[in-house]
Structure 1
């Protein structure tokens, strides 16, 4: 399978990733643009999805989010969801310059945090002709309150405010672990399955992943509401795939967002929890996404 390294400009920041050529293509082919979720890097199983797409005759452009992995950007380990949305659009623009890419057949795929991003991108960028959102974050406000006890929220707000004041005075950004073995300890993703998946995947496949993000990344997460864009995705075909027992981006929130989408759309419930889609449940998540893109992007 042909894979090459790529890099492209995103308003002065160089983003880097992989381009997978569509197998069997004799000319310009449909292309899926992909990036990972909250703090994750492309080596954390995105290759499995891209290989599945390429084997079905779809190109795949996979990139690391700015400030993470192989991509440039400062401050390192800071996640601005709106910058990441814009970078999806920069990646689409770059794809359109490649001779292997049919610019009229672009799809976007995202998972977890980027599952929210692709909902926004599909609603505002009509170059997108099909979208797959896997275990998506749909409401930062509601998701934060599902993860953080009500009596802890004021403490978080105090940390956000202190960090804002410190940064104003020239201090380095405050940092917080992405995951912690103790789900009651301060971390961005305080669920046991988050700790297990990130630490195991870091050791197995992704040495560049770092267990920290800026504190402001968590604050921006609480402000981000992809659900408000969901009604505007139509008439772009939407496949939304929540996990049956997702305790990180809760299943009921994703299904409620799906109810706000208009046709054409499809809901597919994946087995297990949030992270099962990448490993044990890949046989459900990967082929379903592949088939959706083939159906709606292939001639």
Structure 2
């Protein structure tokens, strides 16, 4: 599908970069199309399968897709004086709203038909943005991280928590004294060593992609502390009356299945649950991807592209 490089400014003047996809069957600039804003999960880059989803959507629907790297990752910049590879959820949510503003300003986008799509960490972000930014006309939430406190304590062994609390304090004191932000690995083969995502499937997914793109196996310590305090599903009942599709894997140990289903139960209509087999990363490729993305296409066709 036709793809062009794009960049846009956030409300705090940071440049984010990505790709804008349009259907091959439509002459560029000849029509104002609905637009789906797509952002990736925890530390992931746009090259890590987001292009696969965007290509599929624009091959099946009369829709454009805006795919971008989160600030501080991949091709996107970071605010002066701030470290790269740091994730502050409220800032990433604000960046999604700024991506909507950019899309609305394009001559080839129908500004009244904007949807948002997020996966894993950004699957939580789109719940928040879909609730508080009423420009959003449809929310697609895939494999979402819905409750940071619960998720943190599912991933981190109880006897490791005190060590993390000490690390959070040490990092805050160091940064206040002008020291460089401390980093931890995103994944590690050894589950006894500290990492942000200490599951075997996380290690396999990210190390495989690290050989194919410019993904870095590091994230700031503050990122982990910010994850624990973040509860994106607290607003899930406010997404309505915007249509919501939540895709949940039946054996997700990274963003646990039961937490996602519990959050979904609190969402109001119109809503749709898309249960897929397997674990957290199975929705990105193979047969599970094909089955799941067909449901997403049908949902977009009904609610955004009609």
Pick the TM interval, shorter chain: over 0.9
Output the CA distance in 1 between the equivalents of 2:292 and 2:48: 15
Among 102, 121, 125, the alignment partner of 2:129 is: 121
Among 80, 84, 90, the alignment partner of 1:82 is: 90
Shift of 1:39: 0.4
Q: Where does 1:87-106 land on structure 2 (aligned, <5 Å)?
A: 87-106=95-114
Output the CA distance in 2 between the equivalents of 1:67 and 1:196: 23
Residue of structure 2 in register with 1:3 after alignment? 3
Residue of structure 2 in register with 1:201 after alignment? 209
Residue of structure 1 in register with 2:65 after alignment? 60
Secondary structure, aligned partner of 2:110: strand
Output the CA distance in 2 between the equivalents of 1:270 and 1:75: 36
Deviations 1:188-221, CA, capped at 9 Å, x for gaps: 00000000000112223x2x11000000000000
Output the CA distance in 2 between the equivalents of 1:184 and 1:121: 35
Shift of 1:132: 0.6
Deviations 1:113-140, CA, capped at 9 Å, x for gaps: 0000000010001111001100000000
Contact 2:209 2:215 (C-alpha < 8 Å) held by counterparts: no
* Higher mean C-alpha deviation, range 278-287 or range 71-80: 278-287
Among 62, 68, 75, the alignment partner of 1:70 is: 75
Q: Where does 1:108-187 land on structure 2 (aligned, <5 Å)?
A: 108-187=116-195
- Structure 1's consecutive aligned runs of 4 or more residues displaced over 4 angstroms after TM superposition are none
Residue of structure 2 in register with 1:286 after alignment? 293
Secondary structure, aligned partner of 2:277: coil
Shift of 1:287: 2.0
Q: Say whether residues 1:296 and 2:303 are aligned partners.
A: yes
Residue of structure 2 in register with 1:13 after alignment? 14
Query: Taking structure 2 as the reference length, what is the TM-score of the superposition?
Result: 0.95
Output the CA distance in 2 between the equivalents of 1:294 and 1:202: 34
Q: Say whether residues 1:31 and 2:35 are aligned partners.
A: yes
Output the CA distance in 2 between the equivalents of 1:291 and 1:218: 36
Output the CA distance in 2 between the equivalents of 1:239 and 1:149: 32
Shift of 1:68: 0.4
Residue of structure 2 in register with 1:235 after alignment? 241
Output the CA distance in 2 between the equivalents of 1:163 and 1:17: 31
Please list every run of 5 or more consecutive structure 1 residues that lacks an aligned counterpart in the other structure.
Answer: none
Contact 1:108 1:130 (C-alpha < 8 Å) held by counterparts: yes
Output the CA distance in 1 between the equivalents of 2:126 and 2:294: 19
Output the CA distance in 2 between the equivalents of 1:282 and 1:184: 32
Shift of 1:150: 1.4
Secondary structure, aligned partner of 1:269: strand
Among 42, 47, 53, the alignment partner of 1:43 is: 47
Shift of 1:285: 2.5
Q: How many residues align?
A: 297
* Superposed CA RMSD: 0.9
